[in-house]
Chains A and B, each alone.
Chain A
Amino acid sequence: MNKMTLEELRALRAEQKTKLSRRSVRNTDVEVIVGMGTCGIAAGAKDTLDAFIRELDENGIKNVRVTQTGCMGLCYVEPTVEVVVPGMPDVIYGRVNPEVVGKIVRKHIMNKTLVNDHIYDRPAADIVNEGRTN
């Protein structure tokens, strides 16, 4: 990409904002976001990420995008994974080992049901949601 001008940056931001809000990129509507900070990796987040890719592949699921992010602040239940499925509430799962990955793929992504005992709540309010201060 060539160096941007101010106008291009603004256009890109508007475009990316819509993308991020819909979380739909490249014809995928489901997103799996794995917390890959050092805390997550130390707790096995790489295995979790690999397991997701393997499970999705084995089940022939093509509409899921697996991405990574930093620490969500729930270090005591790493590895953490956020699963965003349209029509379902966004959910953060904790203590997601490869075995739990299987459950998430089969239950949450394929059958649209939540997985017991692994749901945790978003730890903090988000400032980017417009107009919020304390």
Chain B
Amino acid sequence: MAPFTHYILVCGGTACESSKSDKIYKNLLNECERQACKQSTQIVKTGCFGFCEQGPIVKVLPEESFYVHVQPEDAAEIIAEHIIKGREVSRLLYDKSKSKLRAKIEDIDFYQKQFRVVLRNCGVINPEDINEYIARDGYAGLERALFELSPDQVIEELKSSGLRGRGGAGFPTWLKWNFTKQVENDQKYVVCNADEGDPGAYMDRSTLEGDPHSILEAMTIGGYTVGADYGYIYIRAEYPLAIRRLKIAMQQAREYGLLGENILGSGFNFDIEIRLGAGAFVCGEETALIRSIEGERGMPIPRPPFPATHGVFGQPTVLNNVETWANIPVILQKGGSWFAQIGTTDSKGTKVFALTGKIRNSGLVEVPMGTTLREIVYDIGGGIAHGRAFKAVQTGGPSGGVITKELIDTPIDYVHLQELGSIMGSGGMIVMDEDVCMVDIAKFYLGFIVDESCGKCAPCRVGGRTLYNILDRITKGEGTLEDIDKIKSIGHAMQKASLCGLGQTAPNPVLSTLKYFPDEYKAHIKDHRCPSGKCKSLISYHILADKCIGCGLCARRCPVNAISGDIRQLHSIDHEKCIKCGECYHVCKFDAVYIR
């Protein structure tokens, strides 16, 4: 059969479907039939384009014409004009001014909201094939560093790029490298921190799995710049696929002479070793990580001296996290000034976020710094799942805080997040809807900290446990108003007195939820009520007499036989037996079960 000349893609996402995209699809099919172009045109329904605000969306290939707000009546015109006569229907184009030039998908601002630098090869190349990495300008940054630039010039390039550490604190990368470079020492090291442990974060994992060579190239550039000939990748053993692909990549790079002695004939030697971590969260802290590489127990030590001068085995060490490293080859290849065009005044480049939680399109998202939370949640993420209302976003994992509905238009960069009492962190972004209890969330993160604290310093060890106990009491309805002051004073003490970043930032989730959702804490304490219906001790399930039709479904599904009632009669719940699992609430088709 003859190949098609046109493909019409109709968005079949939930949002477009609800604004009649199905009708558009059917009309297009009918029109195609009527206007006799069925042989040359295929019409398909697609998944969500993620651009729901402008829906329903119809895209015509190969022209890539992007039609928005399409109505079922427009079908005839699209077929008659575009398919038959080859003229775009300009009134339906997203960017009408560009109709003659054809508004390509990449020209639309929405699609520019995502911009891949770190994830440039992720999902594009085969990570187990070095040739594909090389084809995508891989090792071109290393080439430029080794043969065209002196170490000082590499530092200058980094300085002009404005790159700051992506691991959390946002320290300027060039400064860090410069400290190590300036130390006179025979042995220096570079280290990649791949100990990603925040609940809900998987950016580094995906980068390593999808583009392992970028890290090897970057570390080699780092070694050349600071004068190190050996590097360690510290990665948690829970990432077996990332480890396997790193090993394959290292093997291939050695075969090609891109790792090892006399790299590309430049006379520079560099090699890398993988060290596996046992999954302790505290080992993401740089001094604890260094102890762990040395074979010691992973516990932080006081700084200064900083790892830049006294790192692995006491030698000067440059330590960056995966995402920071992944930026380096691009900066070297395209130049610092190119990189500095992206982002805001203080925060350059992009940031990768793992968008998870109650969001419609969860996924890995890479946006320029300064993108607002609203753009990430609604434009890229497609909004909140199941039609619920947005409540807050948690950034930075157990070290970060919440950003509320009122602050959703804040640009995401280092400065603004810090002002809000959160941090960039590694980039986990957990979206929460109205069903999430903020006290419960704070308790969850503190529970995590209590488990993961190394126990070396008292503020973290004792403070974390005490805070957890207080929150536990509040969620059981046994809290007092003095508890709120106690939370604040313990939290501030932990921030000031803890030895490492883990303890210093551990109170952030509780302090920020307390700051933005004080009423929720008060409802738990004063009214013994959980507004979101999450804290089991404070809720009970009941059946509405006027809605229950006596179908008996809840009684059959109740795991503890707490529901009784004759068929077609009102059922009731025995609160002595009820374990508040919520099964009856979810299975009832008549909304007869409610939470009080």
Whether the pair A124, B366 counts as a contact (CB closer than 8 A) is yes
> Which residues of A are found within 8 Å of B205, using beta-carbon distances?
37-38
Whether the pair B62, A89 counts as a contact (CB closer than 8 A) is yes
Whether the pair B206, A70 counts as a contact (CB closer than 8 A) is yes
Q: Mark B479-519, 1 if CB is under 8 A from A, else 0.
A: 00000000000000000000000000000000000000000
Whether the pair A3, B3 counts as a contact (CB closer than 8 A) is no
Separation of A119 and B365 alpha carbons in the complex (Å): 19
Separation of A134 and B341 alpha carbons in the complex (Å): 8
Whether the pair A41, B368 counts as a contact (CB closer than 8 A) is no
Whether the pair A125, B241 counts as a contact (CB closer than 8 A) is no
User: Quick check: is A53 within 8 A (CB to CB) of the other chain?
Assistant: no
Whether the pair B48, A120 counts as a contact (CB closer than 8 A) is yes
CB contacts under 8 Å to A, within B143-177, are: 143, 147
Contacts A20-B136, A68-B128, A125-B114; is A89 near B202 (CB within 8 Å)?
no
Whether the pair B49, A121 counts as a contact (CB closer than 8 A) is yes
> Which residues of B are found within 8 Å of A126, using beta-carbon distances?
116, 120, 124
Q: Mark B253-276, 1 if CB is under 8 A from A, else 0.
A: 001111010101110000000000
Contacts A111-B1, A120-B48, A124-B111; is A70 near B12 (CB within 8 Å)?
no
Binds A, one of B38-46, B227-235, B298-306, B438-446: B38-46
Q: Mark A114-134, 1 if CB is under 8 A from B, else 0.
A: 111111110111111100111
> Which residues of B are found within 8 Å of A1, using beta-carbon distances?
255-256
Distance in Å from the Cβ of B103 to the closest Cβ of chain A? 14
User: Quick check: is B364 within 8 A (CB to CB) of the other chain?
Assistant: yes
- What residue in chain B is nearest A120 (Cβ atoms)? B47
- What residue in chain B is nearest A16 (Cβ atoms)? B135
Contacts A16-B131, A116-B45; is A127 near B115 (CB within 8 Å)?
yes
Contacts A37-B206, A39-B206, A70-B210; is A9 near B143 (CB within 8 Å)?
yes
Interface residues on B, range: 35 or more
> Which residues of A are found within 8 Å of B123, using beta-carbon distances?
35, 37, 69-73, 80, 82
Distance in Å from the Cβ of B3 to the closest Cβ of chain A? 5
> Which residues of A are found within 8 Å of B115, using beta-carbon distances?
124-125, 127, 134
> Which residues of B are found within 8 Å of A117, using beta-carbon distances?
12, 44-47
> Which residues of A are found within 8 Å of B362, using beta-carbon distances?
75-76
Whether the pair B264, A125 counts as a contact (CB closer than 8 A) is no
User: Quick check: is A87 within 8 A (CB to CB) of the other chain?
Assistant: yes
Whether the pair B147, A6 counts as a contact (CB closer than 8 A) is yes
> Which residues of A are found within 8 Å of B126, using beta-carbon distances?
33, 67-69
Distance in Å from the Cβ of B581 to the closest Cβ of chain A? 26
> Which residues of A are found within 8 Å of B42, using beta-carbon distances?
113-114
CB contacts under 8 Å to B, within A1-29, are: 1-6, 9-10, 12-13, 16-17, 19-20
Separation of A33 and B122 alpha carbons in the complex (Å): 12
User: Quick check: is B569 within 8 A (CB to CB) of the other chain?
Assistant: no
Interface of A is mostly: loop
> Which residues of A are found within 8 Å of B294, using beta-carbon distances?
none
Whether the pair A73, B45 counts as a contact (CB closer than 8 A) is no
Separation of A4 and B265 alpha carbons in the complex (Å): 8
User: Quick check: is A112 within 8 A (CB to CB) of the other chain?
Assistant: yes
Q: Mark B357-369, 1 if CB is under 8 A from A, else 0.
A: 0001111111010
User: Quick check: is A88 within 8 A (CB to CB) of the other chain?
Assistant: yes
> Which residues of B are found within 8 Å of A119, using beta-carbon distances?
9, 44-47
Distance in Å from the Cβ of B332 to the closest Cβ of chain A? 14
User: Quick check: is A51 within 8 A (CB to CB) of the other chain?
Assistant: no
Whether the pair A70, B258 counts as a contact (CB closer than 8 A) is no
Distance in Å from the Cβ of B334 to the closest Cβ of chain A? 8
Whether the pair B363, A123 counts as a contact (CB closer than 8 A) is yes
Whether the pair A127, B120 counts as a contact (CB closer than 8 A) is yes
- What residue in chain A is nearest B240 (Cβ atoms)? A38
- What residue in chain A is nearest B106 (Cβ atoms)? A125
Distance in Å from the Cβ of B164 to the closest Cβ of chain A? 18
User: Quick check: is B209 within 8 A (CB to CB) of the other chain?
Assistant: yes
Distance in Å from the Cβ of B257 to the closest Cβ of chain A? 3
> Which residues of A are found within 8 Å of B124, using beta-carbon distances?
69, 126
Distance in Å from the Cβ of A95 to the closest Cβ of chain B? 8
User: Quick check: is B105 within 8 A (CB to CB) of the other chain?
Assistant: yes
> Which residues of A are found within 8 Å of B138, using beta-carbon distances?
13
Determine which of B12, B61, B338, B341 lies in contact with A89 in the assembled complex, contact meaning CB atoms within 8 Å: B61
Distance in Å from the Cβ of A119 to the closest Cβ of chain B? 4
Contacts A41-B241, A71-B123, A75-B363; is A124 near B116 (CB within 8 Å)?
yes
Whether the pair B257, A4 counts as a contact (CB closer than 8 A) is yes
> Which residues of A are found within 8 Å of B143, using beta-carbon distances?
6, 9-10
CB contacts under 8 Å to B, within A50-92, are: 67-77, 80, 82, 87-89
Separation of A75 and B48 alpha carbons in the complex (Å): 13
Whether the pair B131, A5 counts as a contact (CB closer than 8 A) is no
User: Quick check: is B134 within 8 A (CB to CB) of the other chain?
Assistant: yes
Whether the pair B264, A5 counts as a contact (CB closer than 8 A) is yes
Separation of A74 and B360 alpha carbons in the complex (Å): 11
A-B contact pairs, 11 of them (CB 8 A): A4-B264, A17-B135, A37-B206, A69-B122, A75-B362, A75-B363, A76-B360, A111-B1, A112-B4, A121-B105, A128-B120
- Give B contacts to A, CB under 8 Å: 1, 3-4, 7, 9, 12, 42, 44-50, 61-62, 105-106, 111-112, 114-117, 119-129, 131-132, 134-140, 143, 147, 202, 205-207, 209-211, 239, 241-242, 255-258, 260, 262, 264-266, 330, 338, 341-342, 360-366, 368, 380
| 8 closest residue pairs by CB, A with B | A70-B210, A3-B257, A72-B123, A16-B135, A124-B114, A119-B46, A20-B135, A75-B363
